[in-house]
Amino acid sequence: MLFPQVAVVGNARITSDNIKILSEQVGQIISELGFNLVCGGLGGVMEAACFGHHSVSNNNKCIGVLPSYDERTANPYIDIVIPSGLDIGRNQLVVASGFAVVVIGGGSGTLSEIALASQIGKHILLMKGSGGWADKLTEEYLDHRQNSKLYHITNLQQLRTTLVELSQKEVKSGSIDSGHNR
């Protein structure tokens, strides 16, 4: 894997210290494992994960794919700013950029990222106990096509172990598998 990256998605606004701390710990683990972090570049889970990522001294980067053209909207922990101008369309770029997508809580925007990640065959790691869609999704797959397994992560050690294992697997993603015969 040339540039190992993990996408982090979740609540744009954090309403609990526990979610802030969890997001920071997730970012820290991603950095400790030697992976870059890709996110939507704004606040909430994205900013807290980037803060945690930066707390580890190494050369790993935080990459923010912004919804607007205004690079000034990036959180202060983003190293590489991509001002996409794509609004919510940037969600596809975020999830496509990582070999895995870590989900912390999340509302409708996060749900769209989970659906996109599933369609393109990304590994989806749901941080259980973080609320939102990370807790609402309980099956092993998002739908009958079984494009992407949903990993139900209950603790940080499990996250670390799962990311290491998944980073060594061959990536099967590439294009949307709609299930249509062509």
- Domain spans of the chain? 5-167
* 140/143 Cα distance (integer angstroms): 9
Query: Exposed, middle or buried, 139 (CB in 10 Å: 0-12/13-18/19+)?
Result: exposed
* 84/78 Cα distance (integer angstroms): 14
% pLDDT > 70, the chain: 92
pLDDT beyond 60 at 155? yes
State the fold for domain 5-167.
Rossmann fold (3.40.50)
* 102/174 Cα distance (integer angstroms): 19
Residue 150's DSSP bridge partners are 124
pTM: 0.94
- Mean pLDDT of the residues in the chain: 93
What's the confidence (pLDDT) of residue 169? 87
User: What average pLDDT does range 62-66 have in this prediction?
Assistant: 98
What's the confidence (pLDDT) of residue 162? 98
User: Do residues 117 and 94 touch, judged by C-beta distance below 8 A?
Assistant: no
Q: What is the pLDDT of residues 92-138, one digit of tens each?
A: 999 999 999 999 999 999 999 999 999 999 999 999 999 999 999 99
